[in-house]
Structure 1
Amino acid sequence: MYIVVAGATGVVGRLLVPLLLEAGHQVTGISRSVAGAERVRGQGASAAQADVLDRDALRQVVAAAAPDAVIHQLTDLSGADGRATNRLRREGTRNLVDAAKSAGVQRIVAQSISWAYVPGEGPADETAPLDTGAAEPRGGMVDGVRALEDTAAELGTAVLLRYGILYGPGTWYAPGSAAAEVLAGDPDARFLGSVEADHSVMSFLHVADAARAAVAALDWPSGPVNIVDNEPAQAREWVPVLASALGVPAPEPTSGHQSWARGASNSLARSRGWRPEYATWRSGFAAQHA
């Protein structure tokens, strides 16, 4: 299969391109920088330098590649910039889907998130609705996710990978990262939110497992799929483990929780044969810092 990867040099994309090549696919990776395009070529794939917010340039790239499918891994996580990521979810997805339509592409695999569900008891499965109408700033984030998913669904087959909180190389939870700075008490840390050891439940995902899921999803039917590890957990559980792995002090446990923070179930993905290699953050946090 011929695949175009948008976001080929992001934290997931950089791991995804070699996996696609190993699986026998032909790949064109899109990067907005010269250095990024060179990195993609160094992995053995074709590369195109283009900004996904440049509608015409993106259309030309996808048309020239004439792919069988596109994979959407667009975020601005490296800059911890929620507004920029939301713009990519809205405008970047719109441009990518329109470019795919113009090139006759009917399959997309798109990165979404698993913490946009409505509040509820227990981990959410894919039948739970998104938390539209939530107060800001959460409301804007959820609206961006809905726009991404609705736009992707305009293609014939759209697999929406609702990833857990990503950790591993290049993420906010790696050594020297934003979360590490927050836990270490750095007043200048750039992080979207705090790291509190409360009762809020989250689901995690190692970036390598995210990349493996994107390869597998090329054969999956349309619809959302939670891609998370096997153990949703309260922050009171995972924050001390992360702090220990980072070699920084853990904050004192606190009470309360975010009502929307319920974690997610990976039962659907497992029924399709996907299994996280890092089955739980307990071992994954330690492994990424070993």
Structure 2
Amino acid sequence: MRVFITGATGHLGSALVPELLQHDHQVVGLARSAASAARLTGWGADVVRGDLDDLDTLRTAATAADGVIHLAFRHDAMQVGDLAGAADSDLAALQTIADALAGTGKPLVGTSGTGLLAPAGLDRPGTEDDVLPDGYRIDAENFVVDLAGKGIRSSVVRLPIVHGPLDTGFIVSLVEFARRNGFSAYIGDGTNRWSSVHTNDAARLYRLALESAPAGTRLHAVHDGGVEFRQIAEALGRGLDLPTRSITVDQAPEYIGYLAHFAAIDNPTTANRTRELLNWRTQEIGLLEDLALGHYFQ
């Protein structure tokens, strides 16, 4: 299959592109810079130059592909507080790709997050069957799932915290905040839970979704169903040789910046349906084991 990927050289893309190539797929990656293009070429992939806001480029690349995986998101905008702008850009890109694929039966794999289930206040772990009304990033998830009715084999992978040596996301940011503060922080008693998955296991799920997920499917890329945030903070403290300290919700923006909201959510989730549907089995270590390896602190 000739697969067009946005976010192809990001954290997850850096594992997914080799995963697809190793399974005899051709990859065309969207690259914003010459350095990103060089990385893709070095892996053996083809390159389309542009970014998420180049809608004509997205349309042309999606039309020429046998399937599309959409990983890219404007994390730069999210980190400076422009959540609405990042979400609007994401939805516009998906609408453009959908226009190119409509009626073809080709696969489109989108990306969402298990954390979006947290505000629902579930009294149990979240599942793939949980559907939320439109809201921040949820409208994009629901849009992709609904494309099953427009002749697209669409699916969405809900990601928890994704960890591993390729990580450039939340755990890396927590390490940076802890170094700056001189302590590793958690909010309140720290018993709220984060679900997580290793990068390589998540990449494998995206490949399986591309190859065989039924149209209109929600999938959970979850290994650890719920690790207490205090345990994560303590593991970071050990790795950095720093104390661990509780902070209040009001103090969180000062000490952990854009992660203030995410660090407080309680987000236990399961992936039972995903495992059964696609025979997906995680093969890598869990989050706390990964933190003990030390690569986050080098």
Under a length normalisation based on structure 2, what TM-score does the superposition of the two structures give? 0.79
Q: Is the 8 A contact 2:8 2:30 kept in 1?
A: yes
**Which residue of the partner structure matches residue 263 of structure 1?**
268
Aligned 1:68-217 pairs, distance under 5 A: 68-77=66-75, 81=79, 82-101=83-102, 104=104, 106-117=106-117, 118-130=120-132, 132=133, 140-143=136-139, 145-147=141-143, 149-150=145-146, 154-168=150-164, 169-173=166-170, 177-186=172-181, 195-196=186-187, 198-217=190-209
What are the superposed Cα offsets for residues 175-207 of structure 1, whole Å, 9 maximum, x if unpaired? Answer: xx32112223449xxxxxx75352222101222
Q: Distance in 2 between matches of 1:31 and 1:213?
A: 23
Q: Is the 8 A contact 2:225 2:269 kept in 1?
A: no
CA shift in 2, pair 1:287/1:91, >3 Å: farther
Structure 1 portions without partners, runs of 5+: 134-138, 188-193
- SS across alignment from 2:225: coil
Residue from 217, 235, 238 that aligns with 2:232 = 238
CA shift in 2, pair 1:59/1:245, >3 Å: same
Structure ranking higher in helix proportion? 2
2:19 is the counterpart of 1:14: no
Q: Distance in 2 between matches of 1:254 and 1:275?
A: 38
Q: Is the 8 A contact 1:90 1:148 kept in 2?
A: no
Q: Is the 8 A contact 2:5 2:28 kept in 1?
A: yes
Q: Is the 8 A contact 2:186 2:247 kept in 1?
A: no
Q: Distance in 1 between matches of 2:221 and 2:294?
A: 19
- How far 1:171 sits from its partner (Å)? 2.2
**Which residue of the partner structure matches residue 3 of structure 1?**
3
- How far 1:76 sits from its partner (Å)? 2.9
- SS across alignment from 1:252: strand
- SS across alignment from 1:140: coil
- How far 1:154 sits from its partner (Å)? 4.5
**Which residue of the partner structure matches residue 54 of structure 1?**
54
How many residues in Structure 1 have an aligned counterpart in Structure 2?
272
Structure 2 portions without partners, runs of 5+: 250-260
Under a length normalisation based on structure 1, what TM-score does the superposition of the two structures give? 0.81
**Which residue of the partner structure matches residue 190 of structure 1?**
none
Q: Distance in 1 between matches of 2:294 and 2:88?
A: 30
What are the superposed Cα offsets for residues 125-163 of structure 1, whole Å, 9 maximum, x if unpaired? Answer: 112232x48xxxxx5354454455556874521121001
Q: Distance in 1 between matches of 2:241 and 2:289?
A: 15
CA shift in 2, pair 1:145/1:250, >3 Å: farther
**Which residue of the partner structure matches residue 42 of structure 2?**
42
Residue from 245, 259, 268 that aligns with 1:251 = 245
Q: Which amino acid letter does the alignment assign opposite residue 161 of structure 1?
A: V
CA shift in 2, pair 1:56/1:220, >3 Å: same
